Amino acid sequence: MTAWKMAYHANCWGALGGDAVGVTSIGRLAYRTFGDMDRAAREIAAAGYEGIEFFDGNVLDAEAEDFASLRRLLDETGLALVAVYSGGNFIFADILEEELARIERAADAARALGAEHLVVGGGATRLSGVRAGDHDALAAALEKVVGLAERRGLKAQYHPHLSTIVERPEEIARVFAKTSIGFCPDTAHLAAAGGDPAALVAEHAGRISYVHLKGWQREPFAFVPVGQGDCDNGAVIRALRTIGYEGWVCNELDAWPDPAAGARESLAFVKAEVGKG
- 218-268 pLDDT per residue, tens: 999 999 999 999 999 999 999 999 999 999 999 999 999 999 999 999 999
For 67-90, the pLDDT digits (tens) are 999 999 999 999 999 999 999 999
Mean pLDDT of 125-147: 97
Helix axes 169-176, 134-150, angle to 10 degrees: 60
With contact defined as beta carbons under 8 Å apart, do 181 and 156 qualify? yes
For the cut 80, the answer to whether the pLDDT of residue 181 exceeds it is: yes
- How far is residue 176 from each of residues 37, 46, 97, measured CA to CA in Å? 34, 37, 22
The pLDDT, as a whole number, for residue 1 is 53
Exposed/middle/buried for residue 78 (C-beta within 10 Å: 0-12, 13-18, 19+): exposed
End-to-end CA distance of the chain: 10
Dump pLDDT digits (tens) for 6-55: 999 999 999 999 999 999 999 999 999 999 999 999 999 999 999 999 99
Q: How far is it, in rounded angstroms, from Cα 140 to Cα 137?
A: 5
Given a cut of 70, whether residue 2 has pLDDT beyond it is: no
Global confidence as pTM: 0.97
Nearest Cα to Cα of residue 79 among 37, 107, 119: 37
* pLDDT attached to residue 182: 98
Residue 27 is which amino acid?
A: G
Question: Percent of the chain scored above 70 by pLDDT?
Answer: 99
Averaged pLDDT of the chain: 97
**Per-residue pLDDT at 3 exceeds 90:** no
For the chain, which domains are there? 4-275 (3.20.20.150)
Packing angle between helix 37-46 and helix 68-77, nearest 10 degrees? 20
Question: What average pLDDT does the segment 190-194 reach?
Answer: 98
pLDDT band at 153 (very low <50, low <70, confident <90, very high): very high
Query: Residue 23: exposed, middle, or buried by beta-carbon count in 10 A (0-12, 13-18, 19+)?
Result: exposed
* Residue 277 pLDDT greater than 90, yes or no: no
Name the amino acid, one letter, at 161: H
